[in-house]
Amino acid sequence: MGNEATCKAHFGKKQATGKALLETAELIFRPADGGPTLKIPFSAIKTAKASGGELHLQTPSGPVIFELGPTAEKWCHKILHPRTRAEKLGVKPGIHVSLLGHFDPDFLRELRAATKNIREGKLDATSDLIFLSVNSTKDLASAGNKTEKAMKGATALWIVYPKGQREITEIDVLSTGRKAGLKDVKVVAFSPTHTALKFVVPLARR
pTM comes to: 0.71
What is the rounded CA–CA span in Å between residue 119 and residue 54? 47
DSSP secondary structure, 21-76, as one string: EE-SSEEEEEETT--PPEEEEGGG-SEEEEETTEEEEEETTEEEEEE-TTHHHHHH
Domains defined along the chain, listed by start: 3-82 (2.30.29.30), 86-205 (3.40.50.150)
What is the rounded CA–CA span in Å between residue 56 and residue 66? 7
pLDDT tens digits along 175-199: 999 998 899 999 998 988 999 999 9
Helix, strand, or coil here: 158?
strand
Instruction: Let me know: does 27 contact 20? Beta carbons within 8 Å.
Output: yes
For residues 206 and 145, the model is more confident at: 206
What is the rounded CA–CA span in Å between residue 13 and residue 178? 50
pLDDT tens digits along 118-174: 999 989 889 999 999 999 999 898 876 678 777 888 999 999 999 999 999 999 999
1 has pLDDT over 50: no
Instruction: Let me know: does 159 contact 173? Beta carbons within 8 Å.
Output: yes
